[in-house]
Amino acid sequence: MYRVYTRENKRPRTHEERGTPCPFSLRSFPSPAFNISGKWGGGQAAAILFPGPTMGQKFCPVHISLWALLVLWSKAPPQVLSSVIPIDECGTRPVVDEIATGTRIIGGHDAQLGAWPWQVSLQVYHFGIGYVHVCGGSLINHNSVLTAAHCVKRWTDAGFWRAVIGMHHLSKYQTHTIKSRIRAIIIHSDFNHATFENDVSLFKLMESIKFNEYIQPICLPDGPLAITDETPCYISGWGNTMEKGRNRDILQEAQVDIIPIAVCNRIDWYAGMVKKHMLCAGTESGGIDSCQGDSGGPLMCYFPDATKYYLIGITSFGFGCGRPKLPGIYVRTAHYRSWINSQAIQFDKAFAMKIPCVLILSVVCLVIFHNVL
- CA gap 305, 301 in Å, rounded: 12
CATH superfamily of 47-55+67-79+105-372: Trypsin-like serine proteases (2.40.10.10)
Q: Residue 26: what pLDDT?
A: 25
Q: How many helices (H) and strands (E) does the chain have?
A: 3, 14
CA–CA dist 366, 64 (Å, integer) = 9
pLDDT confidence of residue 115: 95
> What global pTM score does this model have?
0.72
- pLDDT for position 189: 94
C-alpha count within 13 angstroms, C-beta hemisphere, residue 274: 29
Domain ranges for the chain: 47-55+67-79+105-372
Q: Give 346's contacts (C-beta < 8 A, 6+ positions apart).
A: none
Question: What's at 167, amino acid-wise?
Answer: M
Strands (E), the chain: 47-49, 109-110, 119-126, 130-139, 144-147, 161-165, 178-187, 201-205, 233-237, 252-259, 278-282, 298-303, 308-317, 328-332
pLDDT value of position 356: 56
Q: Determine the pLDDT at residue 184.
A: 95
Q: Tell me, what's the pLDDT at 373?
A: 58
Q: Which residues contact 222 (CB under 8 A, 6 or more apart)?
A: 334, 337
Report the candidate in 359, 357, 372, 371 with the shortest Cα–Cα distance to residue 66: 359
Distance CA 125, CA 55 (A): 12
**Per-residue pLDDT, 263:** 96
> Where in the sequence numbering do the catalytic residues fall?
150, 199, 295
Per-residue pLDDT of the chain (373 residues; tens, 9 = 90+): 533 333 333 332 223 333 333 332 222 223 323 222 222 233 333 444 544 433 333 333 333 344 434 433 443 443 433 344 444 689 999 998 765 544 443 357 899 999 999 999 999 999 999 999 999 999 999 999 999 999 998 888 999 999 999 999 998 899 999 999 999 999 999 999 999 999 999 999 999 999 999 999 999 998 878 888 889 999 999 987 666 556 678 999 999 999 999 999 999 999 999 999 999 999 888 877 677 778 999 999 999 989 999 999 999 998 887 888 899 999 999 999 999 998 877 766 655 555 555 556 666 666 666 666 5
